[in-house]
Amino acid sequence: MIVRKPIGEITRGTTGHNRLRRADRWITAVHGPRLRSAERPLVVDLGYGASHTTTLELFVRLRKVCPSVEVVGIEIDPARVAAARPYERPGLSFALGGFELPVSRPPLLVRAFNVLRQYGEAEAWDYWAMLRERIAPGGVIVEGTCSEVGHRAVWVGLDGSGPRTLTLSARFDAFDRPSDLAERLPKTLIHRNVPGEPVHALLRDFDHAWAVNAPLGAYGARQRWIAAVRTLSGTWPVARRPPLGGPSRWRLGELTLPWAAVSPNSG
């Protein structure tokens, strides 16, 4: 029997309670119907880190919107898998592996957070392609990064055809201006935050909209954020309707746009 080495490299493994709550909240709202409509929905949490915590939290949150969902946490470090297995339960398991996704059937959803930071931009694109080839028909990938405690996060939603959306999410006391989220851009964009690139223009314009709506800060940062997003939507294709957008999402400190609006220039 040939034992193949998992594809990828071991991450730092930093994790913690509720670190991925912002992304999980978005996943349940946006992709809950997709999971409920599937006969045997499988979700993979790729590269969950040194603790089982965020995978367990994902499982509990998804079970509330789709009681039949199965979740598999995948880690490339055997010690981390061994440490997580005592927390397995019906519908939740942990496995050794990497970007090859060693699961019994193609997953309908893959959550991959803080796993591509250590790679180059070209490698990140390659791993996106690898994951897209392994998801089920109609499946999706949510790939992004977040701060140590999860108060700042940015993620991309992908399907079999490629990246589809970019979402910025922040707790209102975790930034001075929206461009502070630049350090959490996905690897495919973080080095493109320079003049002439769409993502740089987005953050510049969001900062301007934030400044213009400073007077609303008297009513709280939430009202200022909502107003800034409305201002930004005058020149950018901000998602304005549920489940991706609209006031119900903006009030949570979110902003989602189509990937085409921020797709990096070639070269």
Contacts of 222 (CB under 8 A, 6+ apart): 172, 251, 253
pLDDT, residue 15, reads 86
Question: What average pLDDT is seen over the chain?
Answer: 96
Residue 257 clears pLDDT 90, i.e. is over it: yes
User: What backbone torsions phi and psi does residue 109 show, to the nearest 5 degrees?
Assistant: -145, 135
Helices (H) then strands (E): counts for the chain: 8, 8
Residue 60 clears pLDDT 70, i.e. is over it: yes
Confidence of residue 62 (pLDDT cuts 50, 70, 90): very high
Q: How far apart are the first and last CA of the chain?
A: 43
Query: What's at 244, amino acid-wise?
Result: L
Confidence of residue 53 (pLDDT cuts 50, 70, 90): very high
pLDDT tens-digit series, residues 158-217: 999 999 999 999 999 999 999 999 999 999 999 999 999 999 999 999 999 999 999 999
- Domains for the chain: give ranges and CATH numbers: 1-171 (3.40.50.150), 192-254 (no CATH)
pLDDT, residue 2, reads 46
Residue 11 clears pLDDT 90, i.e. is over it: no
pLDDT, residue 200, reads 98
pLDDT, residue 130, reads 97
What are the DSSP calls for 54-94, one per residue?
A: HHHHHHHHHHHH-TT-EEEEEES-HHHHHHHGGG-BTTEEE
pLDDT, residue 267, reads 54
